[in-house]
Chains A and B, each alone.
Chain A
Amino acid sequence: MSERALPPVTALGMASLALILAGGIYLAAHLPRQVPLAPAVVLLIASALVLAINLVLLARVRDFAWGTFFTVGKWALLAYVITAGLIEYAFLRDGLSGGPLVVLTLSIVVYAVHVPVLIAFTVARYA
């Protein structure tokens, strides 16, 4: 089985997810106290940056099964938007508001975009 040279999409995706999870753990570990949001914001920005780098690296790949990538990606996106919605609902149900809600909502957006990218990439690389 010959492997094409592709960017480290999976590794970067896992790193991005680890960063937002670290931010989430930081916030959750201090509940219900108010804590400085800066560490969580820095982790979120780093995670979003890794997501952007991943998308740029992927977009530069030539001779890739983009049709398969987008077909799989849109359905995976639908599935993960539903799970993201459930998580968001739990946050709102618990009365989360203000800065922590913004940080966690944006973290969920990164999650809901990056996981479908990882699934679509893994399928398309072998298409």
Chain B
Amino acid sequence: MTDVVAEPLRTGESGREAPAGRADLQIVPTRALPAVGVVFALLVWAIAANKLWPLMFLHVAFGAAWTVVDLFLGFIIGPIMRRLPVPARIELTMNLMPKTVLLMPTLVTVTLAAGWQLGTVMGTVDSAYFHHGWIVASYIVVACMAVIALGLLSPANIAVLFELKKPHPNPAVIQKLMKRFIYAAGFTGALQLGILVIMTRIRVG
């Protein structure tokens, strides 16, 4: 993970102006909304059909994507951002953050909803299941991730986009919010490794 604000604000120190904001920046990329709608429709269909393969596909595919995105943001993008000059960080933020506004909630919702339904189909959420302790452990880890994602990650994501829409965004505010976002993503990514351990342990039996 990285300390996005550890480096001094080069913009302010050198006297250069912070880059101008983009009034046309979309907080929610509306062009991607139909794709999200399709994914949610698939989720509802999979739950209604209650069939093993669609639920397994949605849970595994979206869960893997959630893990990879969290780890990528926290451990790859974070350190890269630290080395970039402030204007470049802001440019990267402007291009990256609108995508995560829709991507992250979609990945989380589909993974958890499909996972719960999959558990009812396979009987793994039943308290009589022989790996019940591991299942409860996964609930606890997911709850920790949910609190961090809902309380820190998602609000920081939206707030940084509003700051970037201003005519003169404050680099200090952007860096503070991005630090919060990257740390939260990295921490949930680390917790995801715990989920991987639990899930593979359950699968092996």
B104 to chain A, nearest CB (A): 12
Contacts A83-B105, A89-B47 given: A126-B150 contact, CB under 8 Å?
no
Interface residues of B in 162-198 (CB under 8 A from A): 162-163, 170, 172-173, 176-177
The chain B residue with its CB closest to the CB of A125 is B159
Interface residue stretch chosen among B14-22, B67-75, B76-84, B113-121: B113-121
B-side contacts of A122, CB under 8 Å: 155-156, 158-159, 177
Is there a chain A Cβ closer than 8 Å to B151's Cβ?
A: yes
A106 within 8 A of B: no
Q: Is the CB of B158 within 8 A of A76?
A: yes
**For residue B117, which residue of chain A has the nearest CB?**
A90
| Chain A positions 27 through 56: 1 when the CB is less than 8 Å from some CB of chain B, otherwise 0 | 011111100000000000000000000000
Q: What is the total number of residues of chain A having a CB less than 8 Å from a CB of chain B?
A: 39
CB contact list, A1-49 vs B, under 8 A: 1, 10, 13-14, 17-18, 21-22, 24-25, 28-33
Interface assignment of A103: CB less than 8 Å from any CB of chain B: no
B44 pairs with A89, CB closer than 8 A? yes
Whether B156 contacts A29 by the Cβ 8 Å rule is no
Do A28 and B44 touch (CB < 8 A)? no
Q: In the complex where A22-B143, A76-B158, A123-B159 touch, is A10 in contact with B127 (Cβ < 8 A)?
A: no
Residues of B within 8 A of A87 (CB): 113
Q: Select B151's contact among A13, A29, A76, beta carbons within 8 Å.
A: A13
Q: B127 to A33, Cβ gap below 8 A? A: yes
CA distance A32 to B119 in the complex (A): 12
- The answer to whether B117 and A86 touch across the interface, beta carbons within 8 angstroms, is no
Q: Verify if A93 is at the interface (C-beta below 8 Å from B).
A: yes
Whole-angstrom distance between the alpha carbons of A68 and B166 in the complex?
13
- Please tell me if B146 contacts chain A, counting CB pairs below 8 Å: yes
Q: How many residues of B contact A (CB 8 A)?
A: 39
Q: Return chain B residues, CB-CB under 8 Å to A118.
A: 150-151, 154-155
- In the assembled complex, how far is the CB of residue A79 from the closest CB belonging to chain B, in whole angstroms? 7
Query: Among the listed A32, A79, A125, which residue makes an inter-chain contact with B105, where contact means beta carbons less than 8 Å apart?
Result: A79
Contact assessment for A90 and B116 in the assembled complex, using a CB-CB cutoff below 8 Å: yes
Contact indicator B109/A86 (Cβ below 8 Å): yes
Interface of A is mostly: helix
Residue of A nearest to B120 (CB): A94
Task: With CB as the reference atom, state the residue of chain A lying closest to B125.
Answer: A31
Contact residues in B for A119 (Cβ distance below 8 Å): 154-155, 158-159
- Mark out the residues of chain B between 45 and 72 whose CB falls within 8 Å of any chain A CB in the assembled complex: 47-48, 50
| Inter-chain contacts of A121 with B (CB < 8 A) | 155
- Hey, which bits of chain B sit against chain A, CB under 8 A? 28, 40, 43-44, 47-48, 50, 105, 109, 113, 116-117, 120, 125-127, 132, 136, 139-140, 143, 146-148, 150-152, 154-156, 158-159, 162-163, 170, 172-173, 176-177
* List of 9 A-B pairs having minimum Cβ-Cβ separation, nearest first: A122-B155, A14-B151, A1-B172, A21-B143, A122-B159, A119-B155, A123-B159, A25-B139, A29-B136
